[in-house]
Structure 1
Amino acid sequence: MQILAHRPKNRHRNGPAMTDSLMKLSVMRDADPQITFADLEFLQQGIRMEPLLEKISDFLDDHDELMELVRCDLERGLKKPETGRAGLTPDQVLRSLILMRIKNWDYRELRERINDGYTLRKFTGFYCQPVPRHNAFNQAFNRLIASTVERLNDAVVEAAVHDGLEDGKKLRADTTVVETDIHWPTDATLLWDTVRVLTRLIGRLRDIVPKDVPRFASRKRAARKRMQKLQRMTAAQRENQQASTYRQLLAITQEVLTNARRTLKATAQSRAKTPTDMLTLEELRKDLADYCPLGDRVVDQARRRVLDGEQVPASEKLYSIFEPHTDLIKRGKINKPIEFGHKVFLAESAHGLVTQYRVLDGNPSDEDHVESSLKAHRKTFGSAPKVFATDRGFDNTHNQKTCRKARIGCASIPQRGGKKTAKRQAFEKSPDFKKAQRFRAGIEGRISVLFRGRGMKRCLAHGEQRFCVFIGVAVLANNLMKIAELLIRRENKKKPSSRVA
């Protein structure tokens, strides 16, 4: 049973509102459901969220344009988004995604925590509605694209500037590496991955259309034995046995690739018994067609490296058939000389807001990002920062000229290599330069918080698009938390201090 109520100005501060029958929101569930007796009882309990979540909720309520960006992604590709079964609203999707990154939960824990907690139900906008299963959150989050998350971050930073929470007078920048979810790549393990994945897909196709898929002998056992033999070889054994074992493993992999292509050709006109099986059949054929070219690349680079003795350039190497976009990153770190993932550029303001982030291709030098960073800062704040601090990896002659041209008061970039002039030595020993370098060290802590607190150390999502979304949402959660802290700090300053009698 539902009761009538007046529509409040802010539904998350006052609860769900009455639905206007004339207003239709183009999403799969009404954004403003009618208030129920259960919701009324829920609100009468006097439940309050923790201060940070409460401020984040209020900030999101005051900026409806953020929900509009999410709504466009949820509607993308739908013929009639206003009809169909009920789904998640843009507000619930964005709030749940932010909560997931703030708490660093997985999908199952996110669903369980929202379902069991009154305060989290209030924050995410579910109230007394049933919380969907964890895969519904996954499907909703996968609708978001990287450009939308980037626009969300830009809108949040602009709102913080408009509200007077950030002035952009200081800027510090650095790069880091976020790992992709892959195992340590070797030629043997990549060949083995190709054999086992293609064999599995062929087997699943045979289960759906057994008469159309040709019969092949399984080569998984033979491939696994040779992969394990290569992994366990000593240095002395490699001199005599490695080349011959790799030839056998390469022959097996090529045989499986040939079988996969024969299967694709044989099932081109296949029809399954049910519509569900037909969708599964098309998806399996698509996966098979995607993995075959990747398998060819693995075979080619293994032959060039091991048999021909060629040094394959890093840009031509494939480090995983599951995450082919993965780059090899060398940053000269003693504890981690080689990392597999993507290099990420971050720029942070004095108040802890990450005003810029970019997922970079390959392993570019840090010095390539100074000019673009200053341009982006000027676009956001209207002027260059008074203090710009980085480590020595960003230094070169062009960047020093760029900082002087931008009229930056203190460009604290230590000189990299070469003999310092007396003027340069005096500048780097000046109090302003040293103070700016102490300010620069703060971004190391911000990266650590993003890694440990927001789960940005390793991306478990699949694909390059999901990787960029993952980075963007981690930055978004960080910025919203900093904005909430700044709002709380501002309110505490306005409160009159109690006088001691």
Structure 2
Amino acid sequence: MTHADRVLADEQIVGAVYEALARRYPKSRSRGRLGAPAEVVLRLLILKHVRNWSYQVLEREVRANLVYRDFSRVGGGKTPDAKTMGRWGLAVDPETIKQIHDRIVQVAQEQGVTQGRRMRVDTTVVETNIHYPTDSTLLGDGVRVLIRTMKKVTKIVGTAGTKLRDRTRSVKLRLLDVSRTARAKGPLNHEKLKQGYRRLLNSTSRVVGQAKRFSYEISAGVKRARGILKRLVRIPMISPGCTDLISPGIPR
């Protein structure tokens, strides 16, 4: 925070935030009650972003922490509420953020930290839900990727060689059957689950075998683009690691 404190004291960075706050209303500069200093607004928003907090958490942490109070220049004054800080976040528009970024790059150039031609930064990561990686769903994902790749190959080379058979629907039905059976308990359902997995593995093995034949025919030149222009397009190769569910060898 010591390094950030020195950079955020730059007049151009603070000035960009001041101009953004002054543009909120037509006469914000001359009318109305006094607002929070631009320096306080800047540092509070930076603190929120760096710590990945919500405005409610930001308000609570700054109110209770003397270090954050000193960094944000709130000091012994009243901590702004979350609703007010949310309005500040809307007022600092993308154009202002770009100005701040450009000035930070310029400061880094002046101090010899970077040459300014390229700069790698951490991007914001948004949490999202993914399905739990069960054996059945992993098999389904593998089938989906292999069939998608074989469709791309067929689009480029046409019907030469092995004909594509899309088993996406049958594999999807097997996945639903396994999922429904797995929710139930008891020895009878356990046996049904084994049968469901056998059918799923059978369908998956057929897709893998087809993918191996596609891969072999691409390397042997059986599957080739029909036109000269299409030959310039890179034909997707099927990775051997995706087809290790059955024993390797020349495709049947």
TM-score bracket relative to the smaller structure: 0.3 to 0.5
After TM superposition, the score normalised by the length of structure 2 is 0.46
The structure with more strand, counted as a fraction of residues: 1
After TM superposition, the score normalised by the length of structure 1 is 0.24
The structure with more helix, counted as a fraction of residues: 2
> Does 1 or 2 have the higher relative contact order (CA < 8 Å, sep 6+)?
1
Return the index of the structure with the highest Cα Rg. Answer: 2
